[in-house]
Amino acid sequence: MKDLIHFIAQALVEHPAEIEVHEVEAGRGLQLRVAEDDLGRIIGRKGKTAQAMRTLLKVAEGGRGGGCSLDIVGPSESGAE
């Protein structure tokens, strides 16, 4: 799942070297960290790009019932919640 999100994010951002994807919540969620300038590109207009990425995660999960979530954060936001 991490590789899928990283691949999609690379295609959308201007600073691909700053992409970080981490597992959170004991592997049930992912955190995508991008450069401040790229947050708008990743989230998309009215959140549609972010929602599409979350939908792809559900499809890739294949109905295993794990409920993988995706959090998108900028470089200055902490990952621990």
Q: How far is CA 73 from the centre of its chain?
A: 8
Quick count: other Cβ atoms within 10 Å of Cβ 38? 20
Strand partners, 22: 31
Q: Is the pLDDT of residue 30 over 50?
A: yes
Q: How confident is the model at residue 65 (pLDDT cuts 50, 70, 90)?
A: low
Of 62 and 35, the structure prediction assigns the larger pLDDT to 35
pLDDT, the chain, mean: 88
Q: How many angstroms separate the Cα of 9 from the Cα of each of 16, 63, 65? A: 8, 23, 24
Options 3.40.50.2300, 3.30.300.20, 3.10.20.740, 3.30.420.10; CATH for 2-73 is: 3.30.300.20
Q: How confident is the model at residue 79 (pLDDT cuts 50, 70, 90)?
A: low
Quick count: other Cβ atoms within 10 Å of Cβ 70? 20
Q: What's the rounded Cα separation, in Å, for the pair 8 and 3? A: 9
